[in-house]
């Protein structure tokens, strides 16, 4: 699955209530057995969103999964890419949590090897907060509802990748902004 969208940047800024960085490329990755990803490129007027899912369920051998993730992300991460990876959630199933952490580490290593400009791990709740997702919906429902305000996406995993990439695009206020 691969989807591409082009949207006026002001439309997205209006939805999130914050200014986005211009002339920037950010890759957001939600690592899981269905890894959702989104590359968002901005210019002065538009954002272009390219999304997809990597289905690792068909690869039974864990080393094959690691190799696939490495190859895939080495191919799409460029030197001027900022990379935002969802921090692994440590839940009841420790083995699954450890595997997710390994997936994230592989994406990180691929980013370093490909020359990514900035790499950060961020929790899903921090990413949602950064783009002003509020409400009492469950995590996935909130992300899907939010993303549907500007594009039509049917995958929760992809919507999480978009939220992560958008979080990386939010322009942080500078001290002088508070003094105006």
> Which of the four pLDDT bands, split at 50, 70 and 90, describes residue 142?
low
Cβ contact 16:147 at 8 Å: no
The confidence score (pLDDT) of residue 90 equals 80
Domain ranges of the chain: 2-171
The confidence score (pLDDT) of residue 178 equals 52
The confidence score (pLDDT) of residue 137 equals 55
Q: CA–CA distance from 120 to each of 15, 37, 153, 171 (Å)?
A: 24, 15, 25, 15
> Which of the four pLDDT bands, split at 50, 70 and 90, describes residue 66?
very high
Question: How many CB atoms lie under 10 A from the CB of residue 76?
Answer: 14
Cβ contact 75:57 at 8 Å: no
Percent of the chain with pLDDT over 70: 90
Q: CA–CA distance from 58 to each of 54, 55, 72, 135 (Å)?
A: 10, 7, 15, 35
CATH number of 2-171: 3.30.420.10
Interval 74-104: pLDDT, tens: 999 988 899 999 998 887 788 888 999 999 9
Q: Is the pLDDT of residue 149 over 70?
A: yes
Interval 40-58: pLDDT, tens: 999 999 999 999 999 999 8
The confidence score (pLDDT) of residue 135 equals 61
* Cα–Cα distance, 143 to 156 (Å, whole number): 7
């Amino acid at each position: 699955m691969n989807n591409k969208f082009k949207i006026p940047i002001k439309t997205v800024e209006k939805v999130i209530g914050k200014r986005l960085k211009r002339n920037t490329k950010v890759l957001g990755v939600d690592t899981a057995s269905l890894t959702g990803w989104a590359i968002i490129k901005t210019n002065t007027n538009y954002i272009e969103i390219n999304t997809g899912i990597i289905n690792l369920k068909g690869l039974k051998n864990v080393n094959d999964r690691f190799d696939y993730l490495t190859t895939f992300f080495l191919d799409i991460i460029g030197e001027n890419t900022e990379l935002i990876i969802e921090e692994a959630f440590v839940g009841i199933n420790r083995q699954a949590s450890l595997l997710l952490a390994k997936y994230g580490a592989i994406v990180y290593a691929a980013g370093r090897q490909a020359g990514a400009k900035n790499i950060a791990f961020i929790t899903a709740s921090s990413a949602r907060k950064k783009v002003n997702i509020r409400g009492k919906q469950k995590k996935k429902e909130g992300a899907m509802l939010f993303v549907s305000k500007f594009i039509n996406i049917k995958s929760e995993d992809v919507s999480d990748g978009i939220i992560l990439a958008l979080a990386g695009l939010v322009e942080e206020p500078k001290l002088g902004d508070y003094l105006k």
